[in-house]
Amino acid sequence: DPLKVLPKIMNILYTKFGGHTNEKGFKVLEKHVRLIQGDGVNMNSIKNIVNLFEQNGFSTDNIVFGSGGALLQKFDRDTMKFAMKCSYVEIADVGGLAVAKDPITDKSKRNKPGRLKLVKQNDGSYLTLSSLEHHSEYEIAEDQLITVFENGKLLCEYSFDSIRANCDIDIDRLDSMHIM
């Protein structure tokens, strides 16, 4: 329950990282530390959390809200069976390691381990290739995804207009893409 957990987290963060009191009298965390709330976010929960922050003396500058789209279109990550999960890490003096989530309670939530590429197939459908599961195909495949942000650096910048244009997708065209 965010209304029980968030005040505890804010106090822990303020104790560990410090901060200051703003001109309105609310506590603000050190500038490199913030909190993101993405679970159960809707218009009512946001209002309740904002009120809770005020009651506990914390500025809402400390929190951002994320949503899987329920605030606008009422879809979530399960609508198209999509979630972002870590699949590969590189550790200094160790090298690359494949990692994966593999919950025993729901095998459908397992993710592919290793480096991944999204590949467009001849029939127009898309397939995710893992460097571990499809090594030879992976090496020669052309990735359809573009790296935008990597290791703290912005590699590719888009204008707001180009982002809006990318969002203006014809639903019939989307259905014909055979996204599984």
* pLDDT tens, position by position, 34-73: 999 988 787 788 899 999 999 999 999 999 988 765 566 6
Q: Are residues 98 and 163 in the same domain?
A: yes
Rg of the chain over all Cα atoms, to the nearest angstrom: 21
Question: Is 61 in the same domain as 116?
Answer: no
Q: Is residue 97 part of a domain?
A: yes
103 and 164, same domain (yes or no): yes
Whole-model pTM: value is 0.49
User: Tell me: the pLDDT tens digits for 138-169?
Assistant: 999 999 998 888 888 999 888 888 888 877 76
Q: How many domains does the chain have?
A: 2
Residue 142 makes CB contacts below 8 A (sequence gap 6+) with 117, 119, 120
Range of the domain at 7: 2-65
Q: Are residues 56 and 120 in the same domain?
A: no
Residue 70 lies inside a defined structural domain of this protein: no
- Based on the domain organization, do 100 and 141 belong to the same domain? yes
Does residue 93 lie within any of the structural domains?
A: yes
Q: Are 46 and 102 part of one and the same domain?
A: no
36 and 98, same domain (yes or no): no
